[in-house]
Amino acid sequence: MTDLQWFFINFFQALAAGLLVGGIYGLMCVGLGIIFGVMRVVNFAHGDFMMLGMYVAYYLFTGFGVLLFLGPYAGPIVAAALAGPIVFVIGWLLHRYLIARVTGTRVVSAEAEGHYTQIILTLGIALVLENGGLILFGSKPLSVQTPMSRESWEVAFIFFNQARTVGFVISIAFAIGLYLFLSRTNLGKALRAAADNPIAAAYVGVDVDRSHGIAFGLGCGITAIAGGLIASSQSFQPYIGFDFVIVMYAGVVLGGMGSILGAFWGGLTIGLVQQMSTLILPYQLQNTAIFVVFLLIIFFRPRGMFGRVWERT
């Protein structure tokens, strides 16, 4: 084959890989987007909830093998899905006992000072989760090994990694489900009301602190599912969280902070950027590429592609 043909194959290969990873990143970003959208809290520990999701999926399927009976195909998927409710509970508890003390109705007035304590509190939580993870899980890189991790479907010279393809499809399904939940159910509408205007929502009878707890848990759970899905095609260790915090924020900012749908597209774009960057940059620098893109977005279009103007001057 000629060089040009190789270039096109590589290009489409990277495009395909980017789309597949991007779909999972999209779901991950939606989790973070819910938290920011509803609570206006910048959660630095979010990558660590994803890390927890990875380990939950790992222990359910590979570690303790509880789900082995489901077979090598359904097992990892169910494990990832179960990571959702488990991490939801962890997130809800952390919100209830720590984060709620510096967010919500109590601090609605103290705008600037509120942000400052929230950012630092979640940084503290991130450090505890990461290093607690190191204590509990050890530093050895792990991954959820399934037959699909190594297998690919080949379509016109382009390889689609099976684990990633399945992860992609399931991510989309979860994202659509979440969208329906937020737009169709009363609880979802209450969450969106609390996001729109916490004070007005409180006046019409929405329990804002309860909504925040649910939103925080939900955001963590959704991202944990994405983590569980990606765990079958990527190795991980307890320190993986901070890398992904930047990945996720890049997606959320790109989609427009506060827009949940936008977060999905933002995450998808970031996945594409990450994989396409390998066409011109060394493999080790793919995360650097994301950070650079993240900085460029923040500088030139901090409102993102779908963002609402919510920051008042």
Partner 1 sequence: MSAQRRSLMWQYIAIGVFAVVYLLVGFVVRNSYYQLIMTLVLIWATMGLSWNMLSGYSGMISFGHASFFGIGGYTMTIAFVDFGITPWIGIPLGVITGVISGVIIGVPTFRLRGHYFALSMLAYPLALLYVFEWLGYQEVSLPMKRDAPALYAQFSDPRVYMVLALGLTILCMIMSLHVERSRFGMSLLAIKQNEPAAEAAGINTLRWKMMAMMVSAGMAAAAGGLYALVLLVVTPQTMFGVLTSAQALIFALFGGVGTFWGPVIGAAILVPLAETLHAELGHIIPGIQGVVYGSAIIIIILLAPDGIYWRIRDRLMQRRLGAPAPSLVPEPIAARGADTGRARSSPGQPLLRLDGVSRAFGGLKAVDDVSISVVEGLVHGIIGPNGAGKTTLFNVVNGFLAAGAGHIDFAGAELVGLKPHEICRRGIGRTFQVVRAFPRMTVFQNVIVGSYVGAATDAEAERLAFAALERVGLADQQANAIARGLTMKQLRLMELARALAPRPRLLMLDEILAGLGHDELEDILRIIRQVNREGVTIVIIEHTMQAMVKLADHFSVLDHGKLIASGPPAEVVRNPAVIEAYLGKKWMDRAKNTVA
**Shortest gap between Cβ of 194 and partner 1 (angstroms)?**
19
Task: Give me the least distance between CB of 49 and partner 1, in Å please.
Answer: 15
Per CB under 8 A, 180 contacts partner 1: no
CB atoms within 10 A of CB 2: 7
Among 66, 123, 158, 261, the residue binding partner 1 under the rule CB under 8 A is 123
Q: Which stretch binds partner 1 (CB under 8 A): 77-85, 160-168, 186-194, 288-296?
A: 288-296
Q: Which of 70, 254, 238, 274 is nearest to 164 (CA)?
A: 274
Residue 269 CB, nearest distance to partner 1 (Å)?
A: 17
Q: Report the C-alpha gap between 79 and 206 in whole angstroms.
A: 34
Specify whether the CB–CB gap between 62 and 145 falls below 8 A: yes
Q: Is 115 in the site for partner 1 (CB under 8 A)?
A: yes
Contact residue for partner 1 among 26, 82, 130, 266 (CB under 8 A): 130
Give the residue, chosen from 117, 143, 145, 152, that forms a contact with partner 1 under the rule CB under 8 A.
117
Q: What amino acid occupies position 90? A: I
Minimum CB separation of residue 304 from partner 1 in Å reads: 11
The pair of structure tokens assigned to 26 is 């999209």
Q: Copy the structure tokens of residue 213.
A: 């707890």
Q: Could you identify the residue written with the tokens 């569980």?
A: 228
Among 34, 38, 54, 126, binds partner 1 (CB under 8 A): 126
**Contact window for partner 1 (CB under 8 A) among 9-17, 158-166, 244-252, 267-275:** 244-252
Q: Which of 2, 69, 299, 312 binds partner 1 (CB under 8 A)?
A: 299
Place of tokens 């929230």: 118
**Binding span for partner 1 by CB under 8 A among 17-25, 58-66, 125-133, 259-267:** 125-133
Note whether 42 binds partner 1 by CB under 8 A. Answer: yes
To partner 1, the closest distance from the beta carbon of 307 in angstroms equals 12
Q: Is 293 left (phi over 0), alpha (psi -120 to 50) or beta?
A: alpha
Cα angle value 226/230/232 (rounded, 5°): 135
Listing DSSP states for 76-135 in one string gives HHHHHHHHHHHHHHHHHHHHHHTGGGTSGGGGSS-HHHHHHHHHHHHHHHHHHHHHHHHH
101 binds partner 1 per the rule CB under 8 A: yes
Piece of 65-73, 130-138, 194-202, 271-279 that binds partner 1 (CB under 8 A): 130-138
Angle (CA) 57-32-171 rounded to 5° is 50
The site for partner 1 (CB under 8 A) is made up of 42, 44, 98, 101-102, 112, 115-117, 119-121, 123-135, 138-139, 238, 242-243, 245-246, 249, 253, 282, 284-285, 287-288, 291-292, 294-295, 298-299, 302, 311, 313
